[in-house]
Structure 1
Amino acid sequence: MGVVIRRAGESDRADVVRLLDEAFRDDPVSSWVFPDEEHRRRSHGGLMEAFLDLSLSQGFVDITQDGTAVALWWSVPAGEQEGEEEGPAQLQAAVDPDNARIGEIGRLTGEAHPTDRPHQYLHMIGVSPERQGEGLGSALIGAVLDRCDQEGLHAYLEASSSRSRALYTRLGFHFTGSAIDLPGGPQLWPMWRDPRPFAANGRDSGRFA
């Protein structure tokens, strides 16, 4: 039996924010955004909640039935979107006005983001530290990729480590060829996936409750 996955909603807010905060607070990217550890512990959850709000309004959020893994997806249409350039500054103002790195990472990822074709954008995927390595993240991603293949949709993400890049490569993503360099921080690797013939997948990635 695959991992049971359901669509998260407003009632899951506290649990999702807590899970993302726990999963990403000491991640290299989060550590770059909030270099002071004490400030990060105070402010990081607010950034995760802002990301959740964006996903609920612009896409969807999938969560495992036991609440130990969550994926934030944005449904991105083709073409430049109205207000897109102001988004990073607005996010910074809402979460941590004096922290220019929030706006900077939003600007850099936005510049790298493809705009020519509609796609599903995997913005974040978090797994409880004690459950990592059990395939929960792959199940969450695979369930959406199966739907992408059925509907002929592309998918996009930014890998934040060589380990995650290898995982996404196995799932059919390929590096677009130009890394995102966070000034004085880690690299991000934009990755794109074309839809595959659905019958060729052969995955049992998960099932929805």
Structure 2
Amino acid sequence: MQPIEPVPGRFEVVAVASSAGGIHGLATVLGALDAELPVPVLVVQHLDPRHRTVIAEVLDRRTELDVKLAEDHEQIGPGMVYIAPPDRHLLVRPGGWLALTDSELVHFVRPSADLLFESVAGAYGPQAIACVLTGTGRDGAMGVDAVKSRGGTVIVQDPATAEFKGMPEAAVGTGTVDFVLPLEEIAAVISGLVEAKRQ
């Protein structure tokens, strides 16, 4: 498979992070996205590493997109959702190749939203969208800063509508957020952004 060459001016990837309350948040956002979404979605949801996860199966039933656990050295494709497996950091390399690592915890978590967002910023620059949903802690705040510094777009769930406000508040606190939205409006904005860039 040939590496995907980014097209100038288009969004090429959406990265989403969530923690506590995230299954509902992810189901709401992914469930409102069209099966023909022209970009891949990369997801970090903090999961208990002691248990086999069924998150991919649960979310696959809630969305028209295809959902799977990410695999090392996998090439990403449009209309697909790739979820970080428990206890593995998920990164994306230029050309759309995934990498899984078990390097050190970041802010006491693995997978880390910060590492995913930083890798997305490095690989896609202004063609990246980063989105932070409900969750405790600060994971994702440094990452949205990285995405914004490379010209990407940042969407955060309005902390007032989040089941757990920590992650959204930390992201908003960076001052680098483009959209602060109720959960139910996030998918429409993502769709509008990726479609508008394709006109």
TM-score by length of 2: 0.31
Is the helix fraction higher in 1 or 2? 1
TM-score by length of 1: 0.30
When Rg is computed on C-alpha atoms for both structures, the one with the higher figure is 1
